Structure 1
């Protein structure tokens, strides 16, 4: 009987160890996954802030370069929509000698995953053109969706709030 008790004790200890290892593995995977999601959110937010400043800053004498940078950071429907709108917008900006400088004053992550992050932006945009003597500052609020494609965070949607 003493050998039976000893085997039972060894079996119980082994079962507890296996259970602890499984539990640690599951918890470790959840922590690692959350770390990946948090890191993706931070990366996408940093890219989105820089991209939003490019998107909201334009000079009529550098319009082609401005638009090239905007399209380089865009994808999907947002890229298609901007491509179509840019034809008319380009001429309007040139004709009015328009310029704008955008500065993100605050941003926050609304939702995040490893390959898609939605960010809320508060942007102050100084605007000037031939019809406005003094620069004016527009306070824009927007929601930008960033998606990770081939290792790059790109804007796939933009909504003014």
Structure 2
């Protein structure tokens, strides 16, 4: 009888274990399925957050590129020396495109002549800029340049403030000034 009782107890224990494990029923698959769904959901959420972060970084980088090109263009335009005006004009033209490039190139000779004759020297000292509007491939930037200017009639450096509206275009992977106008 002792052996029969032990066999009955073993059978009862196996039945209880089978019921806890699911005994081949569907309750044994619920926990792994829920965990799998949670992992998939978290992976998708991480992917969306990484994509959003990349998009925001790319937009910020684009804004900075437009701003830097406008600052450089304004600095080049307001920094000139009567000792080497041809180099200064070349620097402006290198950062220019479109109608602005063509117009400045056409007037470069007379510009150089006036700078030499008046012995003008100007150095941009401070440049502040902010984007007024931005599209896919261009931006309009408001720029304020503070410079020191000397010429034949006033050998002492005089502070000058120039306010410019600068249009910058993305051209062949770079950024160039396509329009520059002085504003009040």
Give the TM-score category using the shorter length: 0.7 to 0.9
RMSD: 3.1
Q: How much does 1:22 deviate?
A: 10
- Would the alpha carbon gap of residues 118 and 104 (structure 1) be closer, same or farther in structure 2, given more than 3 Å must change? farther
Residues 81 and 121 in structure 2, CA contact (< 8 A), matched pair in contact too:
yes
**Whole-angstrom distance in 2 between the partners of 1:155 and 1:85:** 17
**Which residue in the other structure is 2:7 paired with?**
none
Which stretch has the larger CA shift, 23-32 or 68-77? 23-32
Find the partner of 2:75 among 53, 68, 71.
53
**Whole-angstrom distance in 1 between the partners of 2:46 and 2:136:** 23
The gaps in structure 1 that reach 5 residues or longer are 1-20
Structure 1 length normalisation: TM-score? 0.77
Q: Deviations over 1:84-127 (max 9, x none)?
A: 22221110111111111113342111122342122111111211
SS of the residue aligned with 2:62?
helix
**Whole-angstrom distance in 1 between the partners of 2:58 and 2:136:** 6
**Which residue in the other structure is 1:134 paired with?**
156
**Which residue in the other structure is 2:121 paired with?**
99
Structure 2 length normalisation: TM-score? 0.68
Q: Paired residues, what number?
A: 161
The gaps in structure 2 that reach 5 residues or longer are 1-42
> Which protein, 1 or 2, shows the higher relative CO under an 8 Å CA cutoff with sep ≥ 6?
1
Q: How much does 1:30 deviate?
A: 6.8
**Whole-angstrom distance in 1 between the partners of 2:140 and 2:53:** 22
Find the partner of 1:147 among 169, 175, 178.
169
Q: Give 1:31-46 correspondences, 5 Å limit.
A: 32-46=54-68
